[in-house]
Amino acid sequence: MDSGNGTNLGFTVDDGGVIRPDIATATATALTPDGDGGLALRPLSGGAGQRWRAGAV
SS (H, E, C) 3-51: CCCHHHHCEEECCCCCEEEHHHCCCCEEEEECCCCCEEEEECCCCHHHC
State residue 21's pLDDT score: 79
- Please give the biggest Cα pair distance in the chain: 36
| Single-letter code of the amino acid located at 33 | P
pLDDT for res 35: 83
Q: Is the pLDDT of residue 56 over 60?
A: no
Say how far apart CA 49 and CA 51 lie, in whole Å: 6
What per-residue confidence (pLDDT) applies to 25? 67
> pTM for this one?
0.56
Specify the pLDDT at position 16: 79
Q: Quick one: pLDDT at residue 1?
A: 55
